[in-house]
Amino acid sequence: AQELKGEAQKTVGDVKDGAENLADKITGTH
């Protein structure tokens, strides 16, 4: 169960990073 939780948190982190990268591209901050 602990391993699954870690994987889920990692996936959520990846999604957040992806969303931030996408927002940066749209807003042109990078």
Residue 14 token pair: 């990846």
Look up residue 1 and give its DSSP letter. -
> What domain range is 19 assigned to?
1-30
Confidence of residue 1 (pLDDT cuts 50, 70, 90): confident
Total tally of structural domains belonging to the chain:
1
Largest CA-CA distance found in the chain, in angstroms, rounded: 40
At 12-29, the pLDDT tens digits run 999 999 999 999 999 987
* pTM score of the predicted model: 0.58
How many of the other CB atoms lie within 10 Å of CB of 14? 10
